[in-house]
A = this chain, B = another copy of it.
Amino acid sequence: MNTQDETTALKAARELFVRMVVSNWELQNQRLNGWLAKLPEERLAEPVAEGKNRAVYLLGHLIAVNDGMISLLGLGERLYPELDHLFVKDPDRTFEEIPSVADLKAQWANLNAVLTRYFTELDAEEWFTKHNAISDEDFAREPHRNKLNILINRTNHEAYHLGQLIFLKA
């Protein structure tokens, strides 16, 4: 191969890898959305199992954590930073007020549309650069801790909680 072909091959390899990771994230979203579409809204007030988090709390938690990717990946301003306090710092049932299920469902849909746009626009090469929670020194030693790795990690996080949410059946 000549140099031009090799550069093209490297770019194609990176684009393929990004597509693999993004499509697996989309798959988890599709599954969560399928579950969400079927379950009557009022049932999200129920805990997913006796003594465990309420479904509405887990939904808020997933919005807050996935929204955090916007700043972590340097994509722009977070949409819902105010959710961190309720859904990341505080455990469920330690607060009086919780956003309505309708509001959270709208935020979840909007966040996924915004993230999808950001992910589509991000250059494949850019995905392999460092995210905003790792130092230059650490990244030099551990280059696998890049932006795309964050999305792999957050997809596993979403799958983890989806396994819990699914216990509430329509």
Contact = CB atoms under 8 A, between A and B. Distances in A.
Contacts of A162: 160, 163
Contacts of A3: 1-3, 6
Contact of A152 (B24, B49, B163): B24
B49 A167 contact: yes
Contacts of A143: 16
Contact of A149 (B6, B20, B153, B161): B20
A133 to B, nearest CB: 16
Contacts of A49: 48-50, 52, 167
Given A6-B7, A10-B6, A19-B144, A159 B163 contact: yes
**Chain A, interface residues (CB within 8 Å), range:** 35 or more
A144 to B, nearest CB: 5
Contact of A50 (B50, B149, B152, B153): B50
A37 B156 CA distance: 22
Contact of A6 (B6, B23, B146): B6
A128 interface: yes
Given A20-B149, A49-B167, 13 more contacts: A1-B7, A10-B10, A13-B13, A16-B144, A20-B144, A20-B148, A20-B152, A24-B149, A24-B152, A24-B156, A152-B152, A155-B156, A160-B162
